[in-house]
A and B are shown apart, each in its own frame.
Chain A
Amino acid sequence: MTWSLLRKEIWHHWLAFSIAAVLTISCGAVLFGVSLARGQAGTPFEGYRLFLAVFGVVLSIVVCHRLVVLEYQGRTQLFLEALPFARWRMLAIKYCLGLAITLALMALMFAVCLLVAARHDPASPRFTAIAGLRAVSYLWCAYNFFFVMGLLGRYRAAIYIALGFVVLGLQEISALEFSRFGPFALVDNRFAYEADDFPWRELRDTWYLGLACLGAATLLGLVREGSVAALLAEKMSHREKVFISALLVGLLWTVTLVAEKAKRVAFDLPDALTESSPGILVKVARPHGDAGLAAAKNLAREVAAELAQLKDYLGATELPPVFITSRQDLDPGRYERGELEHHHGLHVQLNFESPGWQVRDFMSWLSRETIVLASNARAKHESRRFVLDGFPVYWSHLHETENSSSPDSKLWLRALHGTKDGVALADLSRWLSFRERVGDPIASAVAWSALRSLARLCATNDFRRFIRATLAVGAPRDLRSVLGDGGEPWNRAMKEIAHVPLDRFYRAWQEDLAAAQRDHGPRLASIPRIQAEVRVSGSSSLSRQVFYSLSLSPVPVNSTGIVTFMHQTLPPYDDELDERDLLREKSTLSAASDRELPGGYSRHQRLCYTGAYESPELGCQIISGWKRVELR
């Protein structure tokens, strides 16, 4: 009898299962191939992790749909029930067959990984056991979940959507991190590398969850003679569809509204010096000593006043609270932002008691960070990113007069250096690429010069509306900003809000740059450009050595000659470079020739690098431009 039903299932679903298997294996092969060819992973198990997390789920959905949903939707389970065959056995056979197919495919790919790994770095038995147990537990749990969802019949799609909303909502308004929970943690980044410890806690949670799903499936399939699953499998009536749709829309709306309204607890500095005004709160940790206290009071007052003006300018009702603590070991121009997980506000550590402290530089940095936080990071969108980079500089120099001795001259020098090879309107749209080419401080100066030209062309109010539209401060944190991202692209805002045609803006900008060139040309000529080269050498068929060379042209006369090679191995998928992940190799210019990078590299890894030189004329680093290479 068991064999009869098994034969029927295979006979019924062989084509669908074969297609699913071929597609799964093909996608897995492509994933592994790309991963290995591009050198994004040092181990094939990294690719397997992605494969398991994605295709394990997809395969489970397909298999459970075919075995469970089709049977109950077609009401053919009634035919099976009339045969001399126990209902529990029917469910058990379907469950075991689906699980076996899913596990077999995943096990096949796991075996391929072991074989590939064995070619250069064989997996230890313990690693194999850990990774295998992780994979099997994750897959079993996922399969059980989709099996029970299959028995939920017509409500399963609605439940998937509702679960998605609830998970998103919980992540938004609470401290829950699903990626650290049970099955999700089993396929996290540690999957491919953990060779010592079994993740018992995550495994236990996964097993409990899987058992709960299995129990629910058993109940649904067997309780009340299986009539619950049969009733759930019936088609939805129109009235029910309308009701479920209304419920889902209501749930989505509730989740987004709750997420918006749920203010995270504000960070607090106990016993700090506080300056506040409507919508503004600045707290500076009380330093030791009277001099420090006076400087702290002064800083709090200045920052609060500046933020209040910024708030009014941006038309915001409030800006995130700012918390400042002093750190004596930091350079005066370096500001370290503290991570405030699950708290509201912006915490920064800096050395405001240092003699070289420049409050205006800090305000430029602070206003940028405040805008990013207040716009819920929407101001970082590339379509208006240049405004975000340029506006803080523009804002901090707004009230200064044009004077060659003022810091504006450095800004002009930076802007001119950044546009030495020309700048186009397209660069403003592809701003992240431009930033990588010239470096952050210089890109900010270029953006500043563009905004300055625009401000000259349009009315004050139009310019202010342009800034407000592009920076999207106070964009709603709900569905409205999911449907539209809450801000305007710079070029559309320039035409429609600032009422300045793009060609007119570009001409004015180029004229301003040309005028600045006339003023600062001689000084600009003495500022060197830096070149960075890398050479890759193979120490074996798989491992690679990387050598770098840096050069300056013209070689500066009055400088320390210290150059820096900054680099980072790239993760599988490109993202914005994070300064905190960068590695720096400092050396004198003379020593920076064919110098080997420390650390080991493997063939096909991707490396991102640039040369950097601290220019005294510009007051910032100039870079050779970030380059991405594959180590062949």
Chain B
Amino acid sequence: MIGPDIAGSPAQCEAAVPGAECAPAAGPDEVILRTCGLARTFGSVRAVDGLDLTVRSGEVYGFLGVNGAGKTTTIRMLMGIIKPEAGTIEILGQRSRRTTVRQKQSIGYVSQEQTFYPWMTCRSLGRFVGGFYPSWDNAEFERLLRVLNLPPDRRASQLSGGMRVKLALALALAPRPALLILDEPTSGLDPVARREFLDLIRMQARQHRRTTFFSSHIIGEVERVADRVGIIHQGRMLYEGSLEGLRASVRQVHVRGETPALLETGAVREPGVPPVIESHGRPGEPPPPAMVAADAPPPAGVGGFELPPGFDVLRREQTADGLLLTARAEPAAWTTFQSPHTEVRTLSVEDIFIALVASPAALI
């Protein structure tokens, strides 16, 4: 795993004992949610494989991953719906193997799919759900219904997809939870409803400092609302940290020159790796002027080109005019990196995400 601000280090996880009371941290860095070595297998599929993550008070945490990466399984374990095979979950300082009912009472949860009782109205659903939360605030629920433009007396079966998600959010927010967990809530929503929903999440986070754990596979959504992100792939955390840190860590190096020898240097892609990486600087296009090493002569061959120590190559790709390397390193290392016949390009979060999840090297 890469990341400059990893909160749950392996040493901390090893010391974690289920049931132990963590000392509550003070201030904005208080850890609301932490998992250590979380694992779960379905048959022969390792859905979650030793996952460590940390969510701090007041932040919006974007949990990114492709379909099947293990996001929903992780969230179902966090919600106590399924039990982890290994690892611990710490919620609000209470550490346990499985989330308890008491812990769930401090969590608001919006699932991927809303399965309300179809015969219940919005208001009656509030009355029913309120019975499970000691901190339920019915006035807040009524206010949320108004704010979200939900008809209180309409049955759940008569609500549109967007309204159902809004209702789920109202039900999740009404107990004023310390932690809000959203499992791909916007999937299936139209762009307008999605934007409304994301604005609402952002507003909750800004105004009420609501800690939000938000899973998605849509990068733009996460960029829009998340303070920190965790990228999960094949059940393992690839990156955890801020978006800025991610952008500063992963960049693309364009090595220009004749490249017939490249195919002999092991730069051929592994099976299953996407053939093209979309980037700001596309192959064949002139690179941004600031990043071109202008007067350096091109090398006779770039097959033997190597990045200095501290740089991990996530992806190599041969192009008509040279070689594209997507690599990661400490942000400081990128500032000092210089090499003839190369140019360094910054990447979008989406490019980085694709490079991370598509690269076998990232999993090593």
A-side contacts of B79, CB under 8 Å = 82
Mask, A340-356, CB within 8 Å of B = 1, is 00000000000000000
Contact assessment for B132 and A82 in the assembled complex, using a CB-CB cutoff below 8 Å: no
B43 to chain A, nearest CB (A): 11
- CB neighbors of B among A1-53 (8 A): 1, 3-5, 7-8, 12
B281 to chain A, nearest CB (A): 45
Contact assessment for B82 and A86 in the assembled complex, using a CB-CB cutoff below 8 Å: no
A81 in contact with B129 given A74-B118, A76-B117, A86-B101 (CB within 8 Å)? no
A3 in contact with B131 given A76-B115, A79-B116, A82-B111 (CB within 8 Å)? yes
- CB neighbors of A among B86-133 (8 A): 101-102, 104-105, 107, 109, 111, 113-119, 128-133
Mask, A47-91, CB within 8 Å of B = 1, is 000000000000000000000000000111011011111100000
Contact assessment for B117 and A225 in the assembled complex, using a CB-CB cutoff below 8 Å: no
B-side contacts of A85, CB under 8 Å = 101, 132
A-side contacts of B114, CB under 8 Å = 79
A225 in contact with B83 given A1-B132, A84-B101, A85-B101 (CB within 8 Å)? yes
Most B CB atoms within 10 A — which of A75, A76, A86?
A76
B-side contacts of A83, CB under 8 Å = 104, 129, 132
B41 to chain A, nearest CB (A): 12
Q: Cβ of B294 < 8 Å from any Cβ of A?
A: no
Cβ-neighbour of A4 out of B81, B119, B131 (below 8 A): B131
Number of A interface residues in the complex (CB < 8 A): 19
What total count of A-B pairs have CB within 8 Å? 49
- CB neighbors of A among B127-178 (8 A): 128-133
Task: Kindly state the separation between the CA atoms of A345 and B79 in the bound complex, as whole angstroms.
Answer: 69
Most B CB atoms within 10 A — which of A3, A75, A84?
A84
Contact assessment for B131 and A79 in the assembled complex, using a CB-CB cutoff below 8 Å: no
Task: Kindly state the separation between the CA atoms of A225 and B133 in the bound complex, as whole angstroms.
Answer: 22
Contact assessment for B132 and A12 in the assembled complex, using a CB-CB cutoff below 8 Å: no
Contact assessment for B133 and A82 in the assembled complex, using a CB-CB cutoff below 8 Å: no
Mask, A83-121, CB within 8 Å of B = 1, is 111100000000000000000000000000000000000
A79 in contact with B117 given A4-B132, A84-B133, A86-B101 (CB within 8 Å)? yes
Q: Of all chain A residues, which has the CB nearest B102?
A: A84
Task: Kindly state the separation between the CA atoms of A4 and B115 in the bound complex, as whole angstroms.
Answer: 18
Interface of A is mostly: helix
Task: Kindly state the separation between the CA atoms of A74 and B104 in the bound complex, as whole angstroms.
Answer: 24
A-side contacts of B109, CB under 8 Å = 82
Q: Of all chain B residues, which has the CB nearest A2?
A: B131
Mask, A202-239, CB within 8 Å of B = 1, is 00000000000000000000000100000000000000
A-side contacts of B117, CB under 8 Å = 8, 12, 74, 76, 79
A12 in contact with B81 given A7-B131, A83-B129, A85-B132 (CB within 8 Å)? no
Q: Of all chain B residues, which has the CB nearest A5?
A: B131
A12 in contact with B82 given A4-B131, A78-B111, A84-B132 (CB within 8 Å)? no
Task: Kindly state the separation between the CA atoms of A4 and B119 in the bound complex, as whole angstroms.
Answer: 16
A-side contacts of B130, CB under 8 Å = 4
B-side contacts of A225, CB under 8 Å = 81-83
Task: Kindly state the separation between the CA atoms of A4 and B131 in the bound complex, as whole angstroms.
Answer: 5
A81 in contact with B131 given A12-B117, A86-B101 (CB within 8 Å)? no
B107 to chain A, nearest CB (A): 8
A-side contacts of B133, CB under 8 Å = 84
Task: Kindly state the separation between the CA atoms of A4 and B130 in the bound complex, as whole angstroms.
Answer: 9
Contact assessment for B101 and A8 in the assembled complex, using a CB-CB cutoff below 8 Å: no
A136 to chain B, nearest CB (A): 32
- CB neighbors of B among A364-406 (8 A): none
Q: List 11 A-B contacts (CB under 8 A).
A: A1-B131, A7-B128, A8-B128, A12-B119, A81-B81, A82-B81, A82-B111, A84-B132, A85-B132, A225-B82, A225-B83
